[in-house]
């Protein structure tokens, strides 16, 4: 799995700011091997960050950065 694939999954999670889609897990399907791998959001984020992640706070930070505003946490 490439870093680009991981970033794409992360983007889907972070860009759902209002939690409109209620994403609970992410995954990758390998058509070549007919194999699906999924991760719960908390596990996915904690594995990437190396620590537990506050998803709501990270979504707000992402949107603040995209809009050129300072972080809501300072």
Domain boundaries, the chain: 3-66
Tell me how far apart the alpha carbons of residues 50 and 48 are, in angstroms, rounded to a whole number. 6
The pTM score is: 0.79
Tell me how far apart the alpha carbons of residues 67 and 74 are, in angstroms, rounded to a whole number. 15
Question: pLDDT for 43-71, tens place per residue?
Answer: 999 999 999 999 999 999 999 988 877 66
């Amino acid at each position: 799995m490439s870093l680009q694939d991981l970033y794409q999954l992360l983007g889907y999670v972070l860009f759902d700011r209002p939690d409109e889609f209620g994403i609970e897990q992410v995954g990758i399907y390998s058509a070549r091997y007919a194999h699906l791998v999924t991760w719960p959001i908390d596990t996915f984020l904690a594995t990437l960050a190396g620590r537990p992640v506050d998803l709501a706070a990270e979504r707000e930070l992402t949107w603040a950065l995209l809009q050129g505003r300072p972080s809501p946490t300072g």
